[in-house]
């Protein structure tokens, strides 16, 4: 290997040691806000409203079908986009082309979804949006592992993690207060997705991958690389399972929130109710995420914070299971937000410490991100029969609490992270 390529190799694959600046964190957070606003607002507000108009009597099954198919696309698209990102030799780097390209494709998918008048059409449009947005997600999640040193990683993860909640808040404000109508809501999200991605794409360079370091393409080897053996990499496997279960519990608890407020709490305006609960949830998450990230970086420990967040989140789910009132929903939103804020800061930092290979960071994080999108496939399949046959919303939220607790306890099986 030449001296030049050795330097390039070090620049691309080396463990980061130089702290990132505030502007870098802000712009990455804006790009992260874009992708989660485009993800979460349709799931929580626009899709339920659209499907209720299309099929009022079959709205539950329709929402399960559309979100389940979209999440299935996400399961496939995220690691594939991550793997191709790892192999990208553009002079603009490996991540930024995928952030911008994914934003444009996701915006196009949202625009298609907005024009549909059948359940099948909505499903096709949402799947197109999920494909693009997951390519973007592969791009925005990897820079933390690429560029942020361990001593700063939970703090930066706290800021980017908060964007998941802020994305829903901003999207809910736009679609319930500022922009009226489902179609215009989708259109506004599409524009903002691209606009918020541009600051990071345009302002922050990254070292390109030299073509000499990109392996020759082999379809079978490429397919095999998408599987990370939990036997060979047990810490990666336990981290994946922990994230999967906590996100499954969270998905079970939030997927039917709109209908929970309408049918169990009998709240007069469930769309506004979702917005109020999300505001409380986000405020409490913001109050815990950054302090938890700073403390985690300072003491060098991650697992104890994951256990703590699972206990807090499970308590919120139990509250929803026992009481179907507006005051209890407000309290549960505050408790759930406080717990999830801790989780957002610490879990992403933990995951970046168990990645098997520096050269495959985006692909491996794409596999990890299946633990985010996979529960969106499984949750609708579980939630609908639980509501129908196993105790309604009490059964649903009890199940969510148990799943979250199990996920939090399993983090202790990870060995190489304190």
Residue 209: inside a domain: no
The tokens for 177 are: 């207060």
Instruction: Provide the 10 A C-beta neighbour count for residue 300.
Output: 11
Interval 92-108 mean pLDDT: 96
339-368: burial string, b at 16+ Cβ within 10 Å, e else: bbbbbbbbbbbbbbbbbbeebbbbbbbbbb
Residue with tokens 């003491």: 299
Reported confidence tier of residue 230, pLDDT bands at 50, 70, 90: confident
When mean pLDDT is compared over 35-44, 162-171, 322-331, 360-369, the highest value belongs to: 322-331
Check residues 57 and 176 and name the one with the higher pLDDT. 57
In total, how many domains does the chain have?
1
Residue 8: inside a domain: no
Residue with tokens 């930066």: 156
- For residue 119, the model assigns a pLDDT of 96
Phi and psi angles of residue 229, each rounded to the nearest 5 degrees, phi first: -65, 120
Helix, strand, or coil (residue 115): coil
Check residues 218 and 79 and name the one with the higher pLDDT. 79
Reported confidence tier of residue 5, pLDDT bands at 50, 70, 90: very low
| CB proximity list for 202: less than 8 A, separation 6 or greater | none
Half-sphere exposure of 138 (CA within 13 A, CB side): 35
- For residue 150, the model assigns a pLDDT of 87
- Residues 351 and 76: their CA atoms lie apart, in Å, by 20
Residue 191: inside a domain: yes
The C-alpha angle with vertex 377 and arms to 375 and 378, in degrees rounded to 5, equals: 65
Check residues 67 and 189 and name the one with the higher pLDDT. 189
Q: Is the pLDDT of residue 388 over 90?
A: no
Residue 365: inside a domain: yes
Confidence (pTM): 0.81
Q: Is the pLDDT of residue 339 over 60?
A: yes
Q: Of all residues in the chain, what percent carry a pLDDT higher than 90?
A: 52
For every residue of 304-359, DSSP letters joined together read HHHHHHHHHHHHHHHHHHH--SHHHHHHHHHHHHHHHHHHHHHHHHHHHTS-S-GG
Helix then strand then coil, % of the chain, to nearest 5: 80, 0, 20
Residue 211: inside a domain: no
Residues of the domain holding 37 = 15-202+224-413
Q: Is the pLDDT of residue 4 over 60?
A: no
- For residue 6, the model assigns a pLDDT of 46
The CATH number that applies at residue 86 is 1.20.1250.20
Residue 418: inside a domain: no
- For residue 334, the model assigns a pLDDT of 95
Residue 358: inside a domain: yes
Q: Is the pLDDT of residue 228 over 60?
A: yes
Residue 129: inside a domain: yes
Nearest Cα neighbor of 245 from 96, 400, 382 is 400
Q: Is the pLDDT of residue 8 over 70?
A: no
Interval 87-100 mean pLDDT: 92
């Amino acid at each position: 290997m030449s001296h030049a390529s050795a330097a390039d190799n070090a620049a691309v694959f080396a463990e980061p040691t130089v702290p990132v600046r505030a502007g870098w964190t802000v712009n990455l957070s804006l790009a992260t806000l874009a992708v989660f606003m485009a993800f979460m607002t349709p799931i929580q507000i626009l899709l339920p409203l659209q499907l209720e108009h299309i099929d009022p009597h079959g709205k539950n099954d329709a929402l399960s079908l559309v979100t389940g198919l979209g999440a299935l696309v996400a399961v496939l698209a995220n690691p594939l986009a991550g793997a191709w990102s790892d192999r990208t030799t553009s002079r603009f780097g490996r991540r930024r082309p995928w952030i911008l390209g994914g934003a444009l494709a996701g915006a196009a998918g949202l625009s298609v979804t907005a024009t549909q008048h059948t359940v099948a059409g909505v499903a096709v449009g949402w799947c197109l949006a999920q494909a693009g947005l997951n390519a973007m997600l592969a791009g925005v999640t990897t820079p933390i592992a690429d560029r942020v040193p361990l001593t700063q990683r939970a703090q930066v993860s706290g800021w980017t993690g908060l964007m998941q909640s802020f994305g829903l808040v901003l999207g809910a404000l736009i679609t319930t207060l500022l922009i009226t109508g489902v179609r215009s809501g989708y259109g506004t999200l599409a524009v903002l997705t691209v606009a918020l991605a541009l600051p990071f794409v345009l302002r922050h360079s990254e070292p390109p991958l030299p073509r000499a370091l990109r392996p020759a393409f082999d379809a079978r080897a490429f397919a095999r690389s998408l599987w990370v053996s939990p036997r060979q990499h047990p810490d990666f496997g336990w981290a994946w399972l922990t994230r999967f279960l906590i996100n499954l519990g969270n998905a079970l608890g939030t997927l039917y929130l709109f209908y929970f407020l309408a049918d169990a709490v009998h709240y007069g305006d469930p769309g506004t109710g979702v917005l109020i609960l999300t505001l409380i949830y986000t405020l409490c998450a913001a109050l815990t995420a950054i302090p938890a990230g700073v403390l985690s970086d300072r003491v060098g420990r991650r697992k104890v914070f994951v256990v703590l967040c699972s206990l807090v989140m499970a308590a919120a789910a139990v509250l929803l299971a026992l009481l179907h009132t507006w005051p209890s929903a407000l309290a549960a939103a505050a408790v759930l937000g406080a717990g999830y804020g801790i989780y957002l800061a610490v879990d992403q930092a933990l995951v970046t410490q168990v990645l098997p290979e520096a050269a495959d960071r985006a692909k491996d994080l794409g596999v990890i991100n299946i633990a985010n999108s996979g529960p969106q496939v499984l949750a609708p399949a579980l939630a609908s029969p639980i509501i129908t046959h196993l105790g309604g919303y009490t059964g649903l939220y009890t199940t969510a609490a148990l799943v979250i607790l199990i996920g939090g306890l399993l983090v202790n099986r990870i060995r190489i992270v304190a």
